[in-house]
Amino acid sequence: MPPTPVQTPVSSPPTVRRPRPLVQLGALIWKDLQTERRTREIVLTTAVFAALALLIFVFAFDLRVENRRAVAPGMLWVTVTFATLLALGRTYASEKDQGTLEYLLTTPVDRSLLYLARLLATLVFLLVADVLTLGLAGLFFDLPLLTPGLLATVFLGTLGFASVGTLFAAMAANTRAREVLLPVLLLPVSVPVVIASVQATAADLGGAAGDHPWLGLLLAFDGLFLGLSALLFEHVLED
Amino acid sequence: MAQTLSRPTASARAPGGGLALFTTLAGAAGAVTMTLALYGIFVLAPTERTQGVVQRVFYIHVPLAWTAYLAFGVVFVGSLLYLLRRRRRWDVLARSSAEVGVVLTTLVIVSGSLWGKAVWGTWWTWDARLTSTLVLWFIYVAYLMLRAYVGDPDRAARYSAVLGIVGFLDIPIIHMSVIWWRTLHPEPVVLRSEGPALPPEMLWVLLMSLVAMTCLYLSLLGLKLGIETLREDLRARRSPPAGQ
């Protein structure tokens, strides 16, 4: 208890000076990035998993030249979907194991900032893994995958998964059977992301796709669920 | 066994007079309207020219689908109110409605599947509305699973409320995405800007069936609310009064 001057009015607490939200956000993201740099739990495992998934697809499908453009969008997004689920499942694992979430909750940080920080950090990990996956898939199947259009699709699709996924992962981490429950929760809700991403990718690769504004749909999904999850996150983190 | 049989009225009394009355009224109204609806479906409604008798599934299938949406709407409202007010009864409402909604959606899928086999020649097809109904079913099955896998009841209430809100607001986006993806389902014949495309006698039977299904939903919801209220009561009595 620091000694307070006698003349200080009761209304102003002398020692608490909250950093600005952006500073808090930066610190929180930095914490997650540091943890990842030291443990290498998420990016590396996710990227290796994605590479192995692509390898399985090579055996599972007939990937001759004339088939590739038709199969590639689906293959790519099944890989990204499952890799994302895997990574999201890990995001709360270390906090759960070491009980650090409770300490984080005692800090005077807005809950939606905690959500945003976790979302942005996860997004960084996922996008690194995505770009590696795209590069590798492009190499494996001899397709031009690292194009601006496709990168935009991958960004918006991954953001869609991560926005709801960050919310659901925090819930699934506190249940029995957490590894199984996260996909069961996340997959049906993110069906629009899967459909729109596959269609946008197909359109980008010059395949058959309806001329609907798929990226607009992705944007709408991302916007809605980013805001909604930020609002709802405090109810998940209550205990 | 003998003990439960000796006091048969205990469960009917316990949830409180209001709820029991509501359930009884909804059940009675359901019995009357369902009889009228069945009479309408099998006797009054004209046989459709191209599909024949099997088209009468329509009077069951479509009202069930509307009622299922109503049930999930109630889940949404209950979830929202629970998060805002933190009264257990809103959670009880949401979870009861979710369970009834899953039953109704299952019936929608089964009745649609039977109709589809007769008319389209297949039990299942990846048409837009079938797909979005299936996705809807999965969301609320996940809701029930989530409840089952979270140990702490307060936490279960909060988590499922979050899913109840996210899932319901997702419905229009899912709908949009699968419609763009593909569609083969008949266009809406009742709710459209030009007015209903049904002959009046068909429309009346449909509306009667809708009232009957809504009564069915309300009475099932009332029964489920009674059970869940008793369950809450039992839990409160089992745990020490001081709480955690």
Nearest-CA distance B180 → chain A (Å): 7
* pLDDT reported for residue B243: 47
* pLDDT reported for residue B189: 66
CB spacing of A228 vs B178 below 8 angstroms: no
* pLDDT reported for residue B208: 94
ipTM for the predicted complex: 0.86
- Terminal C-alpha separation, chain B: 32
Residue B204 lies in a domain: yes
Q: Which residues pair with B52 in a beta bridge?
A: B48
Residue B136 lies in a domain: yes
Residue B198 lies in a domain: yes
In the numeric block, which tokens belong to residue A146?
Answer: 């690292």
Taking CA atoms, A189 is separated from A130, A212, B14, in Å, by 21, 21, 38
CB of B25 closer than 8 Å to CB of B196: no
Residue B7 lies in a domain: no
d(CA A224, CA B175): 15
What's the pTM value of the predicted model, to 2 decimals? 0.87
Residue B1 lies in a domain: no
* pLDDT reported for residue A209: 55
- B chain contacts of residue A229, beta-carbon cutoff 8 Å: 166
CB spacing of A167 vs B166 below 8 angstroms: yes
Q: Which residues pair with B224 in a beta bridge?
A: none
Domain containing B27 equals 17-230
Domain count, chain B: 1
Give contacts of A 203-232 with B, CB under 8 A.
210, 212, 214, 217, 220-221, 224-225, 228-229, 232
Angle between helices B153-181 and A214-236 in degrees, nearest 10: 180
Mean pLDDT by 10 residues, chain A (239 residues): 51 67 90 89 91 91 78 92 93 82 84 93 95 92 88 96 95 85 95 93 75 89 96 88
- Give every CB contact of residue A169 below 8 A, 6+ residues apart in sequence: A88, A89, A91, A92, A182
* pLDDT reported for residue B244: 44
Q: Which residues of chain B have pLDDT under 50?
A: 1-14, 243-244
CATH assignment of the domain containing B126: 1.20.120
Nearest-CA residue of chain B relative to A191? B174
Domain boundaries, chain A: 22-237
Interface of B with A (CB under 8 A): 83, 135, 138-139, 142, 145-146, 149-152, 154-155, 158-159, 161-163, 165-167, 169-170, 173-174, 176-178, 180-181
Residue B133 lies in a domain: yes
d(CA A118, CA A112): 10
Residue B183 lies in a domain: yes
The Cβ of residue B3 has, within 10 Å, a number of other Cβ atoms equal to 6
Residue B240 lies in a domain: no
